[in-house]
Structure 1
Amino acid sequence: MPDPRRAIPRTDALLAEPRIAKAAAVLGRELVKSVVKDVQQVARAGEIAPDDVVDVVLARLPAGASSLRPVVNATGVVVHTNLGRAPLSPSALDALVAAGGTTDVEFDLGTGDRARRGRGALAALAAAVPDAAAVHVVNNNAAALLLCALALAPGREIVVSRGELVEIGDGFRIPDLLESTGARLREVGTTNRTSARDYAAALGPDTGFVLKVHPSNYRVTGFTSEAPITELASLGVPLVVDIGSGLLAPHPLLPDEPDAATALRAGATVVTASGDKLLGGPQAGLLFGDADVVERLRRHPAARALRVDKLTLAALEATVRGPLPPMRAALEASVESLRDRAQALVRALDGVDAHLVASVAAVGGGGAPGVELPSAAVSLPVRYATALRTGEPAVVGRVVKDRCLLDLRTVRPEEDVKLLEAVRRCG
């Protein structure tokens, strides 16, 4: 009796199969070839028939060359750090595609000469924060603080409140970051109360700058006080204010969240912020402030190591100039619209144990601690949590009291159909 394994298609024949060859043109020949060999091995073990090899190869091929998978964020956390923080707007995604080719990122097409790198993004940020005399962009907000320490306090002291020596995530801490530059921290005040007098008493010939850090991922309440920017700006030394979240101007839903424009008007020399989070763009560190100081930061040797690429610059400019980014749309969505969408999904899931429930969403991403956003969610049996998370597309909700909640505040309206189909496939 002939060995059925002899009927398994050869590697070259499989790679020449039109559908597999088309996938190789997108994913790369080596990636596709590795999948082909894996499936052939499964067929040799007798787990699939030789006639099924092509279909199994096609089923196992990834959607793209990257291992990252798209996820529907139904957690109710608007800026979810583990899910990539802020989703980019359609205009920012278009900008990424355009920037992926050859661009004029550092070239003046009119004169034929070299031009200021990222001038479009810088101009957009300057227009959005007119109180800033100058703007610079680095690869994240931690890098912005690092550059300030390197340029303004090499071997000198940074005066900072004890209550603002925060951990910024994944075990990284502001004091460790700053001291890694060779600067020394001069801690003042107490955990819960620090006054302008505390800062003034610590100033001396070794002072590089005063640093004010917004504790964006926690809140201290009760017997507390902090020195306002206006008082710190009058101390006669540079004042660096880290607002963290990337809010460029006041927002009515976030009255306690600091913003770049207000901090500059209050007298900050430099304001550092994030390009993602509450701005809703790509990860980047933004520096706004005094023209001479920002130029010192821009010309520091470390600025080269901290600079952003053309993709970030393109997405950042499109975020600032373009329509409302998804993060802001989620933040500002009315509860009524969320409830209507959730109710429509529940009706469409006839026969599924699905209910409309009230929910409470959060801003997330280390911003606006304590701010609760009323929302609406679809409640499902808890078994759906794993099935949805491991399905296609992946849907991540949250489990509350043995129910899987899909919070609509963080699901874009155009994703409702995907969400519906994903739940049906798990039924």
Structure 2
Amino acid sequence: MSDDPRRQVPRTDTLLADPELADASARLGRELVKAAVQDVQQRIRDGALAPVDAVPAVLSALPTTASSLRPVFNATGVLVHTNLGRSPLSPAAVEAVAAAGGTTDVELDLATGRRGPRGAAALAALQAAVPAAEAALVVNNCAAALALVATALGGELVVARGELVEIGDGFRIPELLEATGARLREVGTTNRVTLDDYLRALGPDTGAVVKVHPSNFVVRGFTRAVPVAELAAGLTGRGVPLVADVGSGLLRPHPVLPDEPDLQTTLADGADLVLASGDKLLGGPQAGLVLGRADLVQRLRRHPLYRALRVDKTTLAALEATLRGPQPPVQQMLGADVADLRSRAEALAARLAAAGLDAVAVDSEARVGGGGAPEHPLPSAAVSLPAAFAGPLRAGRPPVVGYLAGDRTLLDLRSLPPSDDGTLAAAVLEVARRWT
């Protein structure tokens, strides 16, 4: 029967031989392209697609890379958004990752032909950025850094009850520490701890005193905490190292975040080791940073667990480029001028309104995210659209993730660079064309 729709479906081998799909197979892999071809063939059988449109439909369905991860426009106003991969890398870091993707001299001294120190340049860049550190070490995230410290220093860890926090997705600091075999000696109460509480808890089995920055919550009212400087002075001469997990990876004090702890100040105040994340306010790749006393860092480096936690060449490349290269995006977002943000929002809203959309510029509040500065909103500006745009924008190409405020979808511009404004407008207009 000539009208049988199955006879109109292009053959798989014919489609795969098309020059455009053959190029896609060479770039993305034959199996991925074949799966897209089969989906399109089924749409033709169902009568939802004309056979002549098969190749364009396959190309439209293919991702830009062989990875399932898709670039997303972060219009949430959350600068370090964990669900969106935390800090975006700088162009310099992206270029460094690409260069490190091949064979590199990551553990080879090219001058002598002998094995060289792994990641020496990245560690040197980290120490240059935090002069108070005698030495540095990098592992795969901040939780790994804390686990390595707990394992290598061993014994009993003294920690304030109010700092035994949950760090997200159900993971809790006390459970992480106890999983290493360490014993916890809790001191103080949920809301108050004093220097004497710490000092009375010290004993022959004490491996370290650990301070954990609560980061994603604040306790107010009748509270008391012991600053690093006071605690370090109290521990002087007692032979017990002070380890401070500051979390967010801020290298030095930042005027926009006056209450956020930073690595340089924490070490200068007397911490023996300081731990932080590389993919938050530092603006680099996922990594756990350990800086401080040379003897303690070497002790961690020589521990067998370090081998399981060390980072790969691409992470080292991205970290070094972040530290030595131009200002990473998250730092640019922090320093964004509010007047400039309002001007961008007004220009975008005017462009969308001219196309008939219900779009207006509004003031908004952005956030650091990633557990940083939870009570420190950042003044910002956004484009306000009807609430119905939220879902279609997420499903678009590229996906745009904003947030709902009442009956409106807000696209906050502090978490997007100005260079993305044109593409953002085009994405909204395409959604309007398809869905409204």
- Is the contact made by 1:333 and 1:409 (CA closer than 8 Å) also made in structure 2? yes
Task: Indicate the residue corresponding to 2:275 in structure 1.
Answer: 272
For residues 88-123 of structure 1, the C-alpha deviation after alignment (integer angstroms, 9 at most, x for no partner) is: 100001001101111111111111111111111101
1:153-232 → structure 2 map (5 Å cutoff): 153=154, 156-232=155-231
Task: Indicate the residue corresponding to 1:318 in structure 2.
Answer: 321
Task: Indicate the residue corresponding to 2:91 in structure 1.
Answer: 90
1:60-209 → structure 2 map (5 Å cutoff): 60-153=61-154, 156-209=155-208
For residues 365-387 of structure 1, the C-alpha deviation after alignment (integer angstroms, 9 at most, x for no partner) is: 11111001111111111111112
Distance 1:287 1:9 in 2: 58
Give the partner amino acid of 1:51.
V
Tell me which moved more, 58-67 or 205-214: 58-67
Task: Indicate the residue corresponding to 1:294 in structure 2.
Answer: 297
- Secondary structure of the residue aligned to 1:327 is helix
Distance 1:293 1:244 in 2: 19
Distance 1:162 1:30 in 2: 53
- Secondary structure of the residue aligned to 2:270 is coil
Distance 1:15 1:89 in 2: 37
Distance 2:52 2:256 in 1: 60
Task: Indicate the residue corresponding to 1:248 in structure 2.
Answer: 251
What is the CA-CA distance between 1:4 and the residue it aligns to?
Answer: 4.7
Which of 383, 392, 413 is residue 387 of structure 1 equivalent to?
A: 392
Give the TM-score, by structure 2 length: 0.95
- Is the contact made by 1:338 and 1:408 (CA closer than 8 Å) also made in structure 2? yes
- Secondary structure of the residue aligned to 2:115 is coil
- Is the contact made by 1:8 and 1:51 (CA closer than 8 Å) also made in structure 2? no
Distance 1:387 1:46 in 2: 24
Which of 378, 385, 404 is residue 399 of structure 1 equivalent to?
A: 404
- Secondary structure of the residue aligned to 2:70 is coil
- Is the contact made by 1:342 and 1:377 (CA closer than 8 Å) also made in structure 2? yes
What is the CA-CA distance between 1:224 and the residue it aligns to?
Answer: 1.1
Which of 328, 346, 349 is residue 346 of structure 1 equivalent to?
A: 349
What is the CA-CA distance between 1:42 and the residue it aligns to?
Answer: 3.2
- Secondary structure of the residue aligned to 1:168 is strand
Task: Indicate the residue corresponding to 1:327 in structure 2.
Answer: 330
What is the CA-CA distance between 1:63 and the residue it aligns to?
Answer: 1.8
Distance 1:10 1:255 in 2: 64
- Is the contact made by 1:5 and 1:50 (CA closer than 8 Å) also made in structure 2? no
Task: Indicate the residue corresponding to 2:309 in structure 1.
Answer: 306
Give the partner amino acid of 2:315.
T
In structure 2, the gaps of 5 or more residues are none
Distance 1:42 1:355 in 2: 39
What is the CA-CA distance between 1:52 and the residue it aligns to?
Answer: 2.7
What is the CA-CA distance between 1:8 and the residue it aligns to?
Answer: 2.7
Give the partner amino acid of 2:158.
V
Q: What is the root-mean-square deviation of aligned Cα atoms in Å?
A: 1.2
For residues 107-142 of structure 1, the C-alpha deviation after alignment (integer angstroms, 9 at most, x for no partner) is: 111111111111111010010011100000000000
Task: Indicate the residue corresponding to 1:408 in structure 2.
Answer: 413
What is the CA-CA distance between 1:56 and the residue it aligns to?
Answer: 2.1
What is the CA-CA distance between 1:171 and the residue it aligns to?
Answer: 0.1
Give the partner amino acid of 2:100.
A
For residues 372-412 of structure 1, the C-alpha deviation after alignment (integer angstroms, 9 at most, x for no partner) is: 11111111111111121111111111111101111111111
Task: Indicate the residue corresponding to 1:363 in structure 2.
Answer: 368
- Secondary structure of the residue aligned to 1:278 is coil
Give the partner amino acid of 1:375.
S
What is the CA-CA distance between 1:38 and the residue it aligns to?
Answer: 2.7
Give the partner amino acid of 1:219.
V
- Is the contact made by 1:95 and 1:314 (CA closer than 8 Å) also made in structure 2? yes
- Secondary structure of the residue aligned to 2:24 is helix
Q: How many equivalent pairs are there?
A: 425
What is the CA-CA distance between 1:244 and the residue it aligns to?
Answer: 0.5
Give the partner amino acid of 1:336.
A
Distance 1:318 1:184 in 2: 38
1:17-28 → structure 2 map (5 Å cutoff): 17-28=18-29
Which of 367, 370, 378 is residue 373 of structure 1 equivalent to?
A: 378
Distance 1:249 1:157 in 2: 31
- Secondary structure of the residue aligned to 1:279 is coil
- Is the contact made by 1:189 and 1:195 (CA closer than 8 Å) also made in structure 2? yes
Distance 1:372 1:52 in 2: 49
What is the CA-CA distance between 1:421 and the residue it aligns to?
Answer: 0.5
Distance 2:7 2:220 in 1: 74
Tell me which moved more, 51-60 or 68-77: 51-60
